[in-house]
Structure 1
Amino acid sequence: MARVVVDVMPKPEILDPQGKAVLGALPRLGFSGVTDVRQGKRFELEIDGEITDEVLAEIDKVAESLLSNPVIENYEVHVEDRSVAEIAAEAGR
């Protein structure tokens, strides 16, 4: 089983009030040096079988038509590497 991740972010020219709220709160919480915050969405899709170019093309269609609003958001689709813990769990360690 593989995991495909779709990250969705507001386009740079779109205002991001949630990101601005986080940016304003950081100094009050003692964090400094952060100059900008953009807030987005992350979708993790568990896929049975092999991740082929055809599967990724289908997921791209899903990302464009359902998971994002292409007018105001950009998205990126990528296959997530499995963690060491996941590999060890599969091996029964």
Structure 2
Amino acid sequence: MPEEVKLNQLEKVLDRFQYPVARDEVAAQLDDVVLRYADGEEELPTVLDRVDDQEFDSRDELENSIYNALPTEAVGEPGQSEGEG
């Protein structure tokens, strides 16, 4: 069963890793994580496929890369960026 994660809970998921960590390792270990958006959802490995970096030195670096790869509908209307709705 997939693990659904709101965007405001993403850092807790990324805290599971020892850094530096490779993008492929993150995608493999989180292959069952689904991000809930303001308007829809998407599997985390699919988001990671749009990230150019191959390795991340910190959780913040990985989190920022994921946020930069999110589709526009992920944030929706102001105040709904946590995947509520």
Flag whether TM exceeds 0.5 (same fold).
no
TM-score in terms of structure 1 length: 0.30
Q: Which has the bigger relative contact order, CA under 8 A and spacing at least 6?
A: 1
Q: Which of the pair has more CA radius of gyration?
A: 1
TM-score in terms of structure 2 length: 0.32
Greater strand share, structure number: 1
